[in-house]
Chains A and B, each alone.
Chain A
Amino acid sequence: MAADLRPEVVLLDFWVSPFGQRCRIALAEKGVPYEYREEDLLNKGDLLLRSNPVHKKIPVLLHAGRPVCESLAIVQYVDEAWPDAAPPLLPRDDDPYARAQARFWADYIDKKIYDCQTRLWKLKGDAQEQAKKDLIEVLETLEAELAGKPYFGGDNFGFVDVALVPFTSWFPTYEKLGGFSVEKCCPKIVAWAKLCRERESVAMALTDPDKVYEFVQFLQSKFGVKQ
């Protein structure tokens, strides 16, 4: 009888998903080997549907066959299930206040960025202009929070950085759709993005910005948005 060759960790994902990329970055930072499986979102596979029956969405992390869903829950799970693997993604247990701040900012990013960017590509006219204004406000708020620190968590790359960095591949797309410069309004965020991209985990996970823009153009044509 052949040995059970099922991989211990499997990530069900979609190539351009910033949410999936958060998980890839977390796994890479922790040095956890895993099998990446590309899902066809127009024709979802059985494993995805069985593993996330509630939302039927990626990313889904399967650890010894048990599914974990929702990207930030997955990132925290990776941090907690491999506690001896450096680096800790959330601030350490002895600083609950810092952990609360990290969770607050990750929640802020989740509440705001995806919604603004979706409205930016899907809508036109005044509604699109509002999406751009909202997005700039969000980026400026994050810029102020980053302030003079190298990373959102301070000296070390961590939870909030993981939560935000995949969206940085979308900056050129925001600029083309909105007609503004991210660097002009948020130079610190742009510098932070460059610093993060020096990490192998980030460089490997992020989609090339040109491919992101192509993907958004594909979505626009699919949804009948005039380009």
Chain B
Amino acid sequence: MAVAAAAGAGGELRLLGTWSSPWVIRVRVALGLKGLSYEYLEEDLASKSDLLLRSNPVHGKVPVLLHGGRPVCESLVILEYADEAWPGVGPPLLPSDPYDRATARFWAAYVNDTFLPAFRALFRSLTEEQRAAAFENAVPKVEALDRALAECSKGKPFFGGDAVGLVDVALGSHLVWIRAVNEVAGTNLLDGARFPGLAAWAERFLAVDAVREVVPDAGKVLEQYKGFRAKWIAAAGSTSKST
């Protein structure tokens, strides 16, 4: 169990989140890796708290990290902030070499801007046709990430090298959802036979203490996903025309 470090200069930490959001998991993993203690506040996204709306007026989304009352929004921004506000506390998420930092930022942006939209299409697919098309579109993105892992890790366990880094957290926090979607869709994104490097990395990431402590129960995530799909299917069935 990580020893809780003082929240440090700047005051107390609070995290606004939802229990299954992978973007919130990213922040919880980072804070856990740094041994930082914080108050976690569960948001109801159907009825957002004043605190959330005041703290993130631009997007109204979680996660929001409040440090001494000051909000930091957007998960990757929060991750870099955690490195910079608590330097020397736990291994850094970003390397110190500028070229390696640029590489880490490139792949974190790839996860957000290229991989996740492709995954989302699979996550949202309702018909077999949509599922097949989404899967076919997502596989090349997984291939790219598998190659990125080889390049970035240089034979070490993580994208960040010996220790978990920015890209590990950015991608790894979505694994529980990738598995839930695979189970329902009958797909095998991150297929161990095709992408042994990435599959092995996934097991290593999920075994890290700070990750195990915050990743939600796979069964609960699966249940939530099935609940979403039931709603989407009902909504699709009840509309006779698309707008």
Task: Pick from A103-111, A179-187, A194-202 the stretch touching chain B.
Answer: A103-111
Residues on A with beta carbons closer than 8 Å to the beta carbon of B110 = 54
Q: Are B98 and A73 in contact (CB under 8 A)?
A: no
In the assembly, what is the distance between CA of A74 and CA of B106, in Å?
Answer: 9
In the assembly, what is the distance between CA of A99 and CA of B102, in Å?
Answer: 16
Q: Are B102 and A76 in contact (CB under 8 A)?
A: yes
Interface string of B105-117 (1 = CB under 8 A from A): 1100110001000
**A100 contacts chain B at the CB level, 8 A cutoff:** yes
Nearest-neighbor residue (CB-CB) of A52 within chain B = B106
Within 8 A of A (CB), among B53-79: 58, 67, 70, 72-74, 76-78
Q: Are B101 and A76 in contact (CB under 8 A)?
A: yes
In the assembly, what is the distance between CA of A68 and CA of B97, in Å?
Answer: 13
A81-B98, A104-B72 in contact; A99/B105 too (CB < 8 A)?
no
**B40 contacts chain A at the CB level, 8 A cutoff:** no
Quick one: which of B72, B101, B114 contacts A80, CB cutoff 8 A?
A: B101
Quick one: which of B81, B99, B144 contacts A97, CB cutoff 8 A?
A: B81
Q: Are B109 and A77 in contact (CB under 8 A)?
A: no
**B12 contacts chain A at the CB level, 8 A cutoff:** no
In the assembly, what is the distance between CA of A7 and CA of B80, in Å?
Answer: 32
Residues on B with beta carbons closer than 8 Å to the beta carbon of A104 = 72-74, 77
Within 8 A of B (CB), among A19-34: none
Residues on A with beta carbons closer than 8 Å to the beta carbon of B76 = 103, 107
A77-B101, A104-B74, A108-B58 in contact; A99/B81 too (CB < 8 A)?
yes
Residues on B with beta carbons closer than 8 Å to the beta carbon of A54 = 110, 114, 144
Residues on B with beta carbons closer than 8 Å to the beta carbon of A73 = 102, 105-106, 109
In the assembly, what is the distance between CA of A77 and CA of B109, in Å?
Answer: 15
**A141 contacts chain B at the CB level, 8 A cutoff:** yes
Within 8 A of A (CB), among B26-49: none
Residues on B with beta carbons closer than 8 Å to the beta carbon of A56 = none
Residues on A with beta carbons closer than 8 Å to the beta carbon of B114 = 54-55
Q: Are B98 and A100 in contact (CB under 8 A)?
A: no
Interface string of A110-150 (1 = CB under 8 A from B): 00000000000000000000000000000001000000000
Closest 4 CB pairs of A and B: A96-B84, A80-B98, A100-B81, A77-B102
Which A residues have a C-beta under 8 Å from some C-beta of B?
Answer: 54-55, 63, 66, 68-70, 72-74, 76-77, 80-81, 93, 96-97, 99-100, 103-104, 107-108, 141
Which B residues have a C-beta under 8 Å from some C-beta of A?
Answer: 10, 58, 67, 70, 72-74, 76-78, 80-81, 84-85, 98-99, 101-102, 105-106, 109-110, 114, 144
In addition to A63-B99, A76-B101, A108-B58, 9 A-B residue pairs with Cβ atoms within 8 Å of each other are: A54-B144, A66-B99, A73-B106, A73-B109, A76-B102, A80-B98, A81-B98, A99-B80, A107-B76
Q: List 24 A-B contacts (CB under 8 A).
A: A66-B99, A72-B109, A73-B105, A73-B106, A74-B102, A77-B98, A80-B98, A81-B98, A93-B84, A97-B67, A97-B72, A97-B81, A99-B80, A99-B84, A100-B72, A100-B77, A100-B78, A100-B81, A100-B84, A103-B74, A103-B80, A107-B77, A108-B58, A141-B58
